[in-house]
Each structure stands twice: as structure tokens, then as C-alpha cells.
């Protein structure tokens, strides 16, 4: 399925690390917790919008660099590695869109926390757009993971589970 090209595997691992950062920011913004609900001094911690915006900005730069690296690695689309790189490039593009939209939402929430306006309807619309992007991103990730699983199953059966790279 996927040739054992170290650079291609490195790109996939970098994207996987970026996904973890993206998910951490999403959890920080939206995951309910008692610390967010109970506004008791010493327990309550406000969301660090500025820190999350910095993380998202860095992710956008890293994703742009990954897209460039994939273009430089791009192989013939007819061979397995070329197919994998094509799917990875699509996945990165969708992830870029999701990070961009999440960054917009985070920025608006930050403005609201400082007295700005960000109405419920506008927020709901932004969240609907984010969910649509995320659905496409998830579907692309499923295809990418399936390609990786087939590779692990057929081409590298001796590879330990902790060495696998699921995106």
C-alpha cells in the first residue's frame, strides 16, 4: 500500500502531532468541566483565549509548511505512495480550514470575554460551519487511516502497535 518512504511517514507523523494540538485547543474551548462551570476563586480557570489563538496560529503556519513539503514529495498519483500523499494533502487542506475556522471562533470568543459582541446566532452559524468542515476532515482521516492500516497489515506485520501512526 504505502511504500516505506521515511519522508512520507515523517510527514504523516507530523500531521498526527498537529491533530493532537488542534484537539487540545478544541477541548480547552468547548469541553465542559467543573472548573469552567463553578466560578469559585481557586477552582475556576478562565479559558486562555490568547494562548489558544497562538497555538492555532502556529498550527496554520505548520500546516502550510506541510502542504509545501507534500508538494515537494508528491509522487506519481498512480503509485501507492502518490495516492497516499494525495489523500494526505487533502486531509491537511481540510485540517487547515478547520483550524482557520476554530481560530476565528476563538478570536470572537476572546473579544466577547473582553466586552465585545458575539451573538448567539452568529456563534451558532460559525459552529455549524466548523462542524461541516470537521465532518469532511473526519471522512478524509478515515480514508487516510484505512490506507495506513492496510500498509501495516500487509507490508509491515512485524511493526509494534506503538510504532503505528494513526492520523
Residue 78 inside a domain? The answer is yes
Domain count for the chain: 1
Residue 163 inside a domain? The answer is no
- Domain membership of residue 13 as a residue range: 6-157
CA quadruple 91, 26, 146, 162: dihedral positive or negative? positive
Written as nine digits, the cell of 91 is 486531509
Q: CB neighbours of 102 closer than 8 A, spacing ≥ 6? A: 22, 25, 26, 29, 56, 130
pLDDT of residue 162: 52
pLDDT of residue 164: 52
Residue 166 inside a domain? The answer is no
Written as nine digits, the cell of 39 is 466560578
**For each successive 10 residues of the chain (167 residues), what is the average pLDDT?**
66 93 94 69 78 97 94 73 89 97 96 91 96 96 88 57 54
pLDDT of residue 88: 93
pLDDT of residue 36: 61
CA–CA distance, 91 with 84 (Å, rounded to integer) = 10
Amino acid at each position: 500500500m504505502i511504500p516505506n518512504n521515511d519522508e512520507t511517514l515523517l510527514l504523516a507523523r507530523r500531521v498526527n502531532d498537529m491533530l493532537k494540538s488542534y484537539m487540545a485547543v478544541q477541548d480547552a474551548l468547548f469541553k465542559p468541566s467543573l472548573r469552567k462551570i463553578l466560578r469559585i476563586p481557586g477552582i475556576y480557570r478562565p479559558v486562555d483565549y490568547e494562548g489558544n489563538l497562538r497555538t492555532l496560529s502556529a498550527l496554520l503556519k505548520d500546516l502550510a509548511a506541510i502542504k509545501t513539503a507534500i508538494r515537494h514529495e508528491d509522487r506519481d498519483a498512480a503509485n501507492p505512495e502518490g495516492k497516499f500523499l494525495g489523500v494526505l494533502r487533502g486531509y491537511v487542506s481540510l485540517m487547515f480550514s478547520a483550524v482557520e475556522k476554530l481560530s476565528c471562533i476563538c478570536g470572537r470568543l476572546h473579544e466577547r470575554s473582553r466586552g465585545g459582541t458575539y451573538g448567539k446566532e452568529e456563534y451558532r452559524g460559525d459552529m455549524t460551519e466548523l462542524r461541516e468542515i470537521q465532518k469532511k476532515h473526519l471522512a478524509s482521516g478515515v480514508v487516510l487511516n484505512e490506507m495506513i492500516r492496510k500498509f501495516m497489515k500487509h507490508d509491515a506485520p512485524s511493526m509494534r502497535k506503538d510504532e503505528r501512526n494513526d492520523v
